[in-house]
Amino acid sequence: MKRRTRNATQSLAFFLLTICCLLIVVPVIAIIVYVATQGGGTISWQFLSEFPKNQAREGGIFPALLGSFYLMIGVVLFALPVGLLAAIYLHEYAKQNPFTRLINLSIINLAGVPSIVFGLFGLSFFVLLLKMGSSLLAASLTLSCLVLPVVVTASREALAAVPNSYREGSLALGATKWQTIRKVVLPQAWPGILTGLVLAVSRAAGETAPILVIGAAFSPILPNSPLSQFNAIPYHLYVVATQIPKMPKQIQWGIILVLLAMVVLFNLTAIILRIQLRARKRRWGL
Amino acid sequence: MSSIRATLDKSIKELEQDVIELGSMVRQALFEALRALKERNSVLAEQIVKNDDQLDDLSRRIDQKAVETIATQQPTARDLRVIIAIIRIVTDLERIGDLCNNVAKQVLRIADRPLLKPLIDIPRMVEITAAMLEDGLQAFLARDPVRAEKMCLRDDEVDGLRHQVQRELLTYMMEDPRTIERATALLMISLYLERAADHVTNIGEQVVYLVTGQWKDLNL
Amino acid sequence: MMLDFSVKMKTESVSLFYDKTEALKKISLAIPAHQITAIIGPSGCGKSSFLRLFNRMNDLIWKARVTGQVYLDTVPLYNPKIDVVELRKRVGMVFQKPNPFPMSIFENIAFGPRVHGLHDRAKLDEIVERCCLQAALWDEVKDKLRDSAFALSGGQQQRLCIARVLAVDPEVILLDEPCSALDPASTMRIEELMQQLKSQYTIIIVTHNMQQAGRASDYTAFMLMGDLIEFSSTKELFTSPQDKRTEDYITGRWG
């Protein structure tokens, strides 16, 4: 008698859990499918490589694409070294004292700051105070600050995943701390660090509020230096969807699809990196 | 590639060498005791008594080494039996040494008087005992139980010779009471030699034990 | 009994504090050169902490404080002028669980010399071969030096760690329960290896396996709750120990 109720309870529980899983997965698939069907028709090589014409009602999105690309390079150039070095300091060197506790607290808080606040910070600090103007540089730096907590946290986790026995073994051979980090810890932690970076870049790619506040330019001119004005996909989409009358729906959907595709692509890259990391673990027995 | 128990093997080898050394010291004592008797040489007899200390020292050292080996190397199975056998063989060798010592003491008692009769049986006993000892120790080194058992059979010869000596000396003593002291000394010597041969058969038993793990009484 | 030997390393009234706790209590011990010294004792008696004094690995533990002095030959080690990196070249360490780096076998052994500035390929090849031979590992790895170190068995990995230490040419080798994660055959292999190594190096081994201490060492120190109870030649300690606590531990009548 008892066994039958136990089995029934188990089956019911599994059923409910499966429903919950579907509730998560289905919307995501639905969105992707809907966007793909709506905007799929617009996507073509011309769309991606041409300049916008007729106030972006026709033509392509090349400047915005290029701008987004440059922005992400900027984020990598700034967020990776700063975030990684901060993570190394915090994990490998810092002692437990009020100062490090403060740093940890700051990082947590930084992660929760709304993106528009970052935008305003970037505007007042990079654009105005440091006189960078509404440039790629200012936007990159602002976005880097925004994603820094992601890079730092992911890097710290990657460093923490390296077993201490490697560090001990290295130090016992007469290596200095820095040699140990450089030659043993970092090579091991690298996939984890890269994964964090990819996720950070993915987030930065989709942020609209900061680049809005900093002042992206809805212009068909290509940026030719870090200090020049720029356009980016989220901003282009914002303008196209809200500011321009009589905008053909396909264009809007096309841009949405591009943005979505970018984000999905980045996340897929992160997943592949994770899989490689697991395979490497199995081979090298981490 | 060396054995993973090279240290234990080395210790056992060293103990074996020590046993052989002790064995040759004992053989020498046997022959010297005989020579002292034949030549009525009290100087040699006293030397034998003194040398017995050296023999005892070596026995003790081998014992100590064996104990240390057991404590530190934890030998098991055959290795353990070898070391146990070594400890027992050393005991028997030391006893044989003591018996030679006793022979020498008897020689000292009668060295100043001429021999009762030419010695035939007693030297024969020494010869056989010494040969048995050599055989036993070689059987030990070679781990050869068959050779050991064969060696033990010769103990009967030694026993027979002792009986012969006893009968002869009894006759002498009955005929002429003045010979009693010398006869008794010779009688004692033959008894000691018989016991020495018995101890040598013990060595043979140890060899059988160490190879087979079984006790076999070979002193029949 | 007066122990007569030439001293390679020595501690003098050394105490180790973890924050307020006294983990090691004023220990004075002389380590004989070119011998194997074993340190035995129940869990938590401080033997690993004591071992780590010799290459200052305790420095890595936050809030660990050392009083007293440790000497290598006649040089005091707990001294601000001492270069810890140099010290760890001269005093190497093998850990309880084999910890080869996630690199090839060759890279593992070459790691030490490389870190100390040697990059000449021919010399590195020579060092790797020499150390593998010394660690009784060459025949097993000579055809697969480029393979991952993790392709080796546990016993081989530990011998690899020993080869790795040998590559920096130390004078003293510290082994912290090196066989506790290994099977009996690998354990005996490493014990015999130590016998071969002692002619060139001084060896200190911490072990919770008394039989191993008996088999493999020349001198043994018995520790209990942070104190050094007895130190003498292994043969003596295992046949007639002086202190009752030592005897109780050795005969297994502990606890």
What are the structural domains, with CATH classification, of chain A? 45-284 (1.10.3720.10)
Q: Do C195 and B6 touch (CB under 8 A)?
A: yes
Inter-chain touch B71–C191, beta carbons under 8 Å:
no
Q: Range of B128's domain?
A: 6-212
Binned at pLDDT 50, 70 and 90, residue B30 comes out as very high
User: What is the per-residue pLDDT for C62?
Assistant: 78
- The 10s digit of each residue's pLDDT in B92-117 is 999 999 999 999 999 999 888 888 88
CA A163 to chain centre: 27
Per-residue pLDDT reduced to its tens digit, C156-193: 999 999 999 999 999 999 999 999 999 988 998 899 99
Buried b (16+ CB within 10 A) or exposed e, A18-36: eeeeeeeeeeeeeeeeebe
Report yes or no: C71 at the B interface, CB cutoff 8 Å: no
Confidence of residue B22 (pLDDT cuts 50, 70, 90): very high
Instruction: Work out the burial of residue A152: count CB atoms within 10 Å of its CB; fewer than 13 is exposed, 13-18 middle, 19 or more buried.
Output: buried
User: Which tokens go with A225?
Assistant: 């230096």
Supply the angle between the helices B180-212 and B155-175 in degrees, to the nearest 10. 170
Average pLDDT, chain C: 92
What would the mean pLDDT of C141-163 be, rounded to a whole number?
93
Cβ distance of B74 and C211 shorter than 8 Å: yes
Looking at residue A283, what is its pLDDT? Answer: 67
CA distance A167 to A170: 5
Residue A205 neighbours by CB under 8 Å, 6+ apart: A68, A71, A72, A233, A234, A259, A262, A263, A266
What is the C-alpha separation between B103 and B84, in angstroms, rounded?
A: 29
Cα–Cα distance measured from residue B116 to residue A150, given in angstroms and rounded to the nearest whole number: 114
Q: What CATH code is carried by the domain that includes residue B194? A: 1.20.58.220
Work out the angle at residue A209's Cα, subtended by the Cα atoms of residues A117 and A114, and round it to the nearest 5 degrees: 35
Task: Classify residue A5 by burial, with Cβ atoms within 10 Å: 0-12, 13-18, 19+.
Answer: exposed
Judged by a CB distance cut-off of 8 A, whether residue C86 touches chain A is yes
Question: Which of B4, B9, B12 is most worth mutating to test chain C (most C CB atoms within 10 A of its CB)?
Answer: B4
From the CB of residue B213, how many other CB atoms can be counted at a distance below 10 Å? 10
Question: For residue B125, what are the contacts with CB-CB under 8 A and spacing of at least 6?
Answer: B158, B161, B162, B165, B190, B193, B194, B197
Whether B78 is in a domain gets the answer: yes
Domain count, chain B: 1
What is the complex's ipTM, to 2 decimals? 0.91
In sequence order, the β-bridge partners of residue C29 are C11
The pairing of strands C64-72 and C7-18 is antiparallel
Closest Cα in chain B to C210? B72
Amino acid symbol at A285: G
Question: Nearest-CA distance from C120 to chain B in Å?
Answer: 31
pLDDT tens for chain A, 286 residues: list them: 678 888 999 999 999 999 999 998 999 889 888 888 888 888 888 788 888 887 777 778 888 888 888 999 999 999 999 999 999 999 998 888 888 889 889 999 998 999 999 999 999 999 899 988 888 899 999 999 999 999 999 999 999 999 999 999 999 999 999 999 999 999 889 888 998 999 999 999 889 899 888 888 887 778 888 888 888 888 888 888 888 888 888 888 888 888 888 888 888 888 888 888 778 776 665 4
Among A212-226, B49-63, C204-218, the range scoring the smallest mean pLDDT is A212-226
**What are the sequence ranges of the domains in chain C?**
7-250
Q: Which residues of B touch C195 (CB under 8 A)?
A: 6-7
| Amino acid (one-letter) located at A162 | V
Looking at the complex, report in whole angstroms how far the Cα of residue B73 sits from the nearest Cα belonging to chain C: 5
CB-based contact C168 A173, cutoff 8 Å: yes
Tell me the per-residue pLDDT of C67-123, one tens digit each, with 9 for 90 and over: 999 999 999 999 999 999 999 999 999 999 999 999 999 999 999 999 999 999 999
Give the count of beta carbons closer than 10 Å to the beta carbon of residue C121: 9
Task: Tell me the chain A residues in contact with residue C164 when contact means C-beta distances shorter than 8 Å.
Answer: 169, 173
Which one is the CATH code of C7-250: 3.30.1510.10, 3.40.120.10, 3.40.50.300, 1.10.540.10? 3.40.50.300
